[in-house]
């Protein structure tokens, strides 16, 4: 018997219940096979990631469990993320493509190599193929959905409008909009102002991503590009900071 995390018999109320649903949610077949196999069987050592070939070679009825197993979604997410990170880059892009297309993104129309950089930057952050776009949507869109709590906490503080205006001015002077140049520019700015980098990083992160948490700020801005980064800072100044557009 397979039980839900609450100890009750697994049913539809516990979430996805068919292979098709797990596929649509972005779980890899290799990960799901591995996870389900270990619900009722163990290879005889401490391994939790076991390939299908290894399962076939190691399987014995003596190691099939007699007690009911609990379906742990957190563990499935963890296992799926491991399998995602093990995929070759070209294969991972191939598997991500249907999920991006469903979101209205055509990978073939993106600049060469750009999507691969996005994947590499976020590979440790997404647990399913569908989760990739959830984590990175702000990179693909012109407009951003801003978290109201993040806006209130980081963009409406005293001094932030002036800081973002100066940031916009300094970034507009950066010719090579790469992470190294961006880091030099922004660290020089906070040093001149005599403030910690976090005082600038958080409002700037919210301005360009809409969220308080993201992958590396410099790398993210490089992927966004100069025009989009400056446009988002300007939008926040005129919309949230009430400091006038720049």
List residues with catalytic annotation.
12
As beta bridge partners, residue 5 has: none
Structure tokens at 84: 């995602």
| SS3 at position 197 | helix
As beta bridge partners, residue 64 has: 41
Report the C-alpha gap between 86 and 78 in whole angstroms: 13
Report the C-alpha gap between 166 and 168 in whole angstroms: 5
Query: Are the C-beta atoms of residues 229 and 171 closer than 8 Å to each other?
Result: yes
Containing H/E element for 70?
strand 69-70
Query: Are the C-beta atoms of residues 129 and 234 closer than 8 Å to each other?
Result: no
């Amino acid at each position: 018997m397979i039980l839900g995390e609450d100890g009750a018999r697994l049913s539809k109320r516990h979430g996805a219940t068919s292979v098709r649903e797990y596929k649509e949610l972005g779980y890899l077949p290799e990960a799901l096979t591995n996870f389900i196999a270990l619900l009722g069987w163990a290879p005889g050592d401490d391994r939790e990631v076991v390939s299908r070939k290894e399962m076939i070679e190691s399987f014995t009825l003596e190691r099939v469990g007699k007690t009911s197993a609990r379906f742990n979604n957190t563990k499935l997410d963890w296992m799926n993320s491991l399998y995602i990170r093990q995929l070759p880059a070209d294969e991972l892009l191939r598997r991500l493509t249907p999920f991006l297309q469903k979101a209205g993104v055509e990978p073939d129309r993106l600049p060469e190599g750009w999507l691969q950089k996005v994947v590499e930057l976020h590979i440790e952050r997404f647990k399913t193929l569908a989760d990739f776009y959830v984590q990175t949507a702000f990179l693909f869109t012109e407009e951003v959905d801003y978290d109201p709590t993040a806006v209130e906490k980081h963009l409406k503080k005293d001094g932030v409008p002036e800081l973002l205006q100066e940031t916009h001015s300094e970034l507009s002077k950066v010719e090579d909009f790469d992470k190294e140049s961006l880091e030099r520019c922004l660290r020089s700015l906070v040093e001149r102002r005599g403030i910690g980098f976090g005082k600038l990083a958080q409002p700037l992160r919210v301005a360009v991503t809409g969220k308080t948490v993201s992958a590396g700020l410099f790398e993210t801005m490089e992927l966004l590009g100069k025009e989009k980064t400056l446009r988002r800072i300007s939008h926040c100044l005129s919309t949230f900071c009430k400091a006038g557009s720049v």
